[in-house]
Chain A
Amino acid sequence: MSLKIFKINEALKEFVPSEIVDLEEKATWGNPKRGIWDLPYAKELVEEHSLCAGCPESLAFRYILASLPNPEDTIIINSTGCTSLVFPHIALHTVHSLFGNQNAIASGIKRTLEWRFPDKVKDVVVLAGDGATVDIGLECTLHSFFRQERITTICFDNEVYANTGGQESGLTVKGQIFKMAPKGKQWDKVPMWQLAIDSGCHYVARLTVSSPKRVEKVIKQAIYVAREVGPTYVHLYTPCILEIGLNSDDALEEMRGRDKERFKFFEYISEKAKEVIERKKQEGLI
C-alpha cells in the first residue's frame, strides 16, 4: 500500500474531519517499533467499536492493531462473528470471508501478494472467533497449517458462539450452560493450541488479553515468524461477558482469574522460529 492514499489534498483538507486528518498526521505508519506504548499518544487504527461495552475483544483489537509491525502492508482476513462488527471501523485492509473459510482465503491472498509484490513484505493475518476457527472452519484452519502457509492466525476465544446468541462451541468448557445449550456441554474443550503445534505451526501462544505488553510481544513474534518460516497461531481468551453474565467492568478480573488456570500463558517456539525471534530481538524489534 502507498501511504499517499492517506495524504489529503491541501485544497480540500479543511473539509475533512479531524479523525481522518489524524490518520495522516498522527498515526504510527512506517515504524516497525510501534507498539502498545503509542496507544495514549498516537492516532489509533480503530476509532470506535460496535461491541458490547467492556467486551474484551475490543481490548484485544486495540492491542493487536497497535502491535502490527507493518500495518500499512498488513491485510487482515476476518470471519463472521462479534469480531467482524469491528472491521468496518478499522483503517487497514480487511477482507471479510465466508464464515469458516478465513484461512483458505488468507492462503490465497498471501500467495498472490508474494507473486505480485516479490520485493515487498506483506503480512497476512487471520482474525476470527472460536466458532469460525475451531468448529466450522477447522478444516481450513488445519489445512493451512499442514500446507505451511506463511500466515498468522489469531483466534478470539470467547468460548461461545456469541454473535448468534449463545450456542456452545468446541472451545466451550465441559459443563458450561448457555442460553442455547441448556443441558450443559458434554465434552471437553478442544485443545486448539496443541492441534496447532501438531499440525505444523512454528509459533503458538495461548493467553488472555489481561496484559497489553504480553499481547504485543506475542503478536510481533507470531508475525515475524510467519513472514520467514511458516504458519503461526495465537489463541486469545476474550470472554463474552454478555453470555457469562458479567458486568462491563468485570472482564479484566475474569481474565486475570483464568491467567492462573486454563489460560495460563503457554508458548511453543520451533527451532527455526527461535532463530528469527532472537534476530528480531537483537534488531530491537521485539
Chain B
Amino acid sequence: MAKLGPAGYSPYPVALYEGILTPPPGKALLFTELVDEEIAMREAAKAMFTRENPTVFPGPQVLYAWNEEAKKKAQLVRKMAEVFGARIIPMYDYRPKYPKIDPQKEINPNHPNLTIWHNNIKVCIFIGVHCHYANVALKIIRAETDCYTIALCGNAGHEDATVTLRDQHSEELEKFIRIAEEVKRELKK
C-alpha cells in the first residue's frame, strides 16, 4: 500500500527514487537492468504467455485515427493481442471518472489499479498512452498491484514499468509480434 516517497510528494515508492532511470536509445529496461531490445521483447512475451489474464491497454494515440501511423499501429495492437490471446481494455481518455468507472470496460490513469484488481490482471501492455499519464498510471500499478507491466513507448520509456521498450513505432511492433510468435512456439502454447 501507499507510503510517502523520499521527496515527500509522491505517495508511492517510485522507481526513480531507487535510482532506476529510463533506458538510453537502443536499449531496454528489464526490471532494474539495461538490456538489448530483443532480450526485453522475449522476456515481455514470455510474461504475456505465462502470467494470468494478459491484457493490452491501448491509449488515445493508437485508439484514434489521427494519422497514418496511428491507423497502422491500431492494426498491430489488435494482431499483438490475438497472438498473446490477450484481452483489450482501452484507456480512451484521461478524464477522472466519477462517480464510478466500469473496470470491465476501461482503465483510467487516475485509478488503474481498480481495473487490474477487478480483472485479476497479472501482466499487461501499455501502448499509445501519452507519457505523462502513463507515468501516473504505471506508478500506481507498481505500488498497488503485483501486475507485470510492459511499456511499449514511442518516446523515452517509463522507469516504473517492469519492462520498458523505448522508441517503439510500427516497425518495432512488427518485430515484437514476430518474437512473440517465436516464443509461443518455444513455449508450445
Residue numbers of A with Cβ under 8 A of B are 2, 4-12, 15-17, 20, 50, 88-89
**Most A CB atoms within 10 A — which of B89, B93, B102?**
B93
Task: Enumerate 25 A-B pairs (CB-CB under 8 Å) in ascending A order.
Answer: A2-B66, A4-B67, A5-B60, A7-B65, A7-B66, A8-B63, A8-B64, A8-B65, A9-B63, A9-B64, A9-B74, A10-B65, A11-B74, A11-B75, A11-B77, A12-B62, A12-B78, A12-B88, A15-B88, A15-B89, A17-B92, A17-B105, A20-B92, A88-B96, A88-B98
Other-chain residue from B65, B93, B99 in contact with A9 (beta carbon distance below 8 A): B65
**Most B CB atoms within 10 A — which of A6, A8, A12, A20?**
A12
B64 partner residues in chain A, CB cutoff 8 A? 4-9
Instruction: Compute how far the CA of A8 lies from the CA of B58 in the bound complex, rounded to whole angstroms.
Output: 12
Instruction: Compute how far the CA of A49 lies from the CA of B66 in the bound complex, rounded to whole angstroms.
Output: 29
Q: Mark B72-103, 1 if CB is under 8 A from A, else 0.
A: 00110110000000001110110111110010
Instruction: Compute how far the CA of A4 lies from the CA of B93 in the bound complex, rounded to whole angstroms.
Output: 14
Instruction: Compute how far the CA of A50 lies from the CA of B99 in the bound complex, rounded to whole angstroms.
Output: 7
B71 partner residues in chain A, CB cutoff 8 A? 9, 11
Instruction: Compute how far the CA of A8 lies from the CA of B61 in the bound complex, rounded to whole angstroms.
Output: 10
How close is A260's CB to chain B, nearest CB, in angstroms?
36
Q: Are B105 and A4 in contact (CB under 8 A)?
A: no
Instruction: Compute how far the CA of A9 lies from the CA of B60 in the bound complex, rounded to whole angstroms.
Output: 10
Q: Are B95 and A89 in contact (CB under 8 A)?
A: yes
Instruction: Compute how far the CA of A22 lies from the CA of B68 in the bound complex, rounded to whole angstroms.
Output: 23
A89 partner residues in chain B, CB cutoff 8 A? 95
Instruction: Compute how far the CA of A89 lies from the CA of B101 in the bound complex, rounded to whole angstroms.
Output: 12
A16 partner residues in chain B, CB cutoff 8 A? 63, 90, 92
Range class of the B interface residue count: 20 to 34
Instruction: Compute how far the CA of A89 lies from the CA of B96 in the bound complex, rounded to whole angstroms.
Output: 8
B58 partner residues in chain A, CB cutoff 8 A? 12, 15
Instruction: Compute how far the CA of A16 lies from the CA of B78 in the bound complex, rounded to whole angstroms.
Output: 13
Instruction: Compute how far the CA of A10 lies from the CA of B72 in the bound complex, rounded to whole angstroms.
Output: 11
Instruction: Compute how far the CA of A12 lies from the CA of B97 in the bound complex, rounded to whole angstroms.
Output: 21
A9 partner residues in chain B, CB cutoff 8 A? 62-65, 70-71, 74-75
Q: Mark B39-77, 1 if CB is under 8 A from A, else 0.
A: 000000000000000000010101111110011001101
**Most A CB atoms within 10 A — which of B62, B64, B67?**
B64
How close is B24's CB to chain A, nearest CB, in angstroms?
31
B67 partner residues in chain A, CB cutoff 8 A? 4
Q: Are B98 and A50 in contact (CB under 8 A)?
A: yes
How close is B97's CB to chain A, nearest CB, in angstroms?
8
**Most B CB atoms within 10 A — which of A2, A4, A15, A50?**
A15
B106 in contact (CB, < 8 A): yes
A15 partner residues in chain B, CB cutoff 8 A? 58, 88-90
Instruction: Compute how far the CA of A9 lies from the CA of B66 in the bound complex, rounded to whole angstroms.
Output: 9
Find the A residue at minimum CB distance from B105: A17
**Most B CB atoms within 10 A — which of A11, A16, A50?**
A11
Q: Are A12 and B77 in contact (CB under 8 A)?
A: yes
**Of residues 99 to 153 in B, which have CB atoms within 8 Å of A's CB atoms?**
99, 102, 105-106
Instruction: Compute how far the CA of A10 lies from the CA of B75 in the bound complex, rounded to whole angstroms.
Output: 8
Instruction: Compute how far the CA of A20 lies from the CA of B97 in the bound complex, rounded to whole angstroms.
Output: 13
Instruction: Compute how far the CA of A273 lies from the CA of B95 in the bound complex, rounded to whole angstroms.
Output: 37
Find the A residue at minimum CB distance from B95: A88
Q: A7-B64, A16-B92 are in contact. List 11 more A-B contacts (CB 8 A).
A: A6-B64, A9-B62, A10-B74, A11-B71, A11-B78, A12-B58, A15-B89, A17-B90, A17-B102, A17-B105, A88-B96
